Amino acid sequence: MLERLKNVEVPPPPEDIDLQVHLQLNRVLFISHFIEFGMRVMPLAVTHLFVALVAVFTFTLTGQYDLTKQKGKCHE
């Protein structure tokens, strides 16, 4: 698939495109990407960071990685 995409030529933008349209489109794209970053990426990153920090804090206090796992007969 990448080999086919490598050979596809992307047409240049039309020469008659208005500067205002170009600026407005860039502004709308920037705002939409910024909103998507704030609404989707940052909560996921903060969640993963929070889980890691809780694991570090729990390990510091208890000396165990996962408190939910029950020790079997082999680990006693």
Query: pLDDT tens digits for the chain (76 residues)?
Result: 778 888 888 888 777 778 878 888 899 999 999 999 999 999 999 999 999 999 899 899 988 877 566 665 555 5
Residue 54 inside a domain? The answer is yes
Residue 7 placed within a domain = no
DSSP 13-59: PPTT--HHHHHHHHHHHHHHHHHHIIIIIHHHHHHHHHHHHHHHHHH
Give how many domains the chain has, as a whole number. Answer: 1
| Residue 51, domain member (yes or no) | yes
pTM: 0.49
Report yes or no on 14 lying in a domain. no
